[in-house]
């Protein structure tokens, strides 16, 4: 079974620009979560999508948004980029909510650098 | 919301010795506690997990213990090897409508040959 894939793997943007990152979950997984990883703040939850609906959102400003498509692929968007948005963005897929739905499988991440 | 504290932030051990990493959580509703290993430049990989109805789980050289009353859980690695060197993250998961994974701050483990 193919793992979680993320594109692109690396991105360089300048302040004020916007960026879109993509995540394809493991086949059969319908839940996708996004995390931001930085040296200072560690791994922080951004949001989770299931059945094309945002189920939960972490403590991030409205510049961070996402969506999920009918094939469970997900995108996240960051608008008006700031230097502090430089991070590794990880997505993780899991089974739909329910019993034994806990394990999250991570993708390789997208390394975003904001200049 | 949930808060997970992890200690120590760095840990160096001699090859063959044991390593212990400890985490505490704040929300008694958390019911699943995974541990992830992240090597430099790579994605976090689940190495072991434990659910709230279990007190201990072991997988070869790795074990995790959970004390629900005290709200803390620990990772134990025995007979450490240089390839165990990585950053280890604990996490706590709350199920339900507000489900999310909250991570500890990570422990850089270095196994010295």
pLDDT at residue A1, as a whole number: 65
Band (B4; pLDDT cuts 50, 70, 90): very high
Q: What percent of chain B has pLDDT over 90?
A: 80
**B28-66 CB burial, b ≥16 within 10 A, e <16:** eebbbbbbbbbeeeebbeebbbbebeeeeeeeeebbbbb
Q: Say whether B95 and A101 touch across the interface (CB within 8 A).
A: yes
Of B32, B44, B102, the CB nearest to A106: B44
Chain A residues with beta carbon closer than 8 angstroms to that of B49: 102-103
Beta bridge partners of A78: A19, A64
pLDDT band of B20, cuts 50, 70, 90: very high
Q: How far is CA A76 from CA A8, B17, B57, B104, in A?
A: 12, 43, 36, 24
Q: Tens digit of pLDDT for each residue in A60-72? A: 999 999 999 999 9
Q: What is the number of residues in chain A?
A: 115
Interface membership of A66 toward B (CB under 8 Å): no
Residue A52 scores a pLDDT above 70: yes
Q: Are A55 and A40 in contact (CB under 8 A)?
A: no
A55, A104, A107 member nearest B101 (Cβ)? A104
Distance CA A99, CA B98 (A): 15
Give me chain B's average pLDDT, please: 93
Chain B interface, best mutation among A38, A39, A43, by max B CB count within 10 A? A43
pLDDT value at residue A34: 97
Of A43, A48, A56, the CB nearest to B103: A43
Retrieve residue B18's tokens.
Answer: 């044991």
In this predicted structure, the answer to whether residue B83 has a pLDDT above a threshold of 90 is yes
Residue of B44, B49, B50 to mutate, interface with A, max A Cβ within 10 Å:
B44
Q: Which of B46, B98, B101, B105 to mutate to test the interface with A (most CBs of A within 10 A)?
A: B101
């Amino acid at each position: 079974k193919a793992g979680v894939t993320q594109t692109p793997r690396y991105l360089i943007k300048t302040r004020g620009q916007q960026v879109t990152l993509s995540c394809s979950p493991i086949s059969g997984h319908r839940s996708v979560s996004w995390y931001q990883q930085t040296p200072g703040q560690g791994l922080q939850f951004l949001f989770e999508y299931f059945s094309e609906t945002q189920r939960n959102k972490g403590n991030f400003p409205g510049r961070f948004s996402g969506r999920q498509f009918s094939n469970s692929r997900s995108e996240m968007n960051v608008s008006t980029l700031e230097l502090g948005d430089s991070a590794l963005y990880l997505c993780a897929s899991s089974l739909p909510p329910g019993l034994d739905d806990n394990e999250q499988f991570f993708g390789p991440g997208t390394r975003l650098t904001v200049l | 919301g949930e808060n997970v504290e992890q200690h120590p932030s760095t840990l160096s051990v001699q090859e063959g010795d044991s390593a212990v990493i400890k985490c505490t959580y704040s929300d008694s509703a958390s019911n699943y506690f995974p541990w992830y290993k992240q090597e430099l430049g790579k994605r976090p990989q689940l190495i072991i997990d434990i659910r709230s109805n279990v007190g201990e789980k072991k997988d070869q050289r790795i074990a995790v213990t959970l004390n629900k009353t005290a709200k803390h859980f620990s990772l134990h690695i025995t007979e450490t090897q240089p390839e165990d060197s990585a950053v280890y993250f604990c996490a706590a998961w709350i199920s339900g409508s507000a489900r999310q994974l909250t991570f500890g701050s990570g422990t850089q483990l270095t196994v010295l040959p």
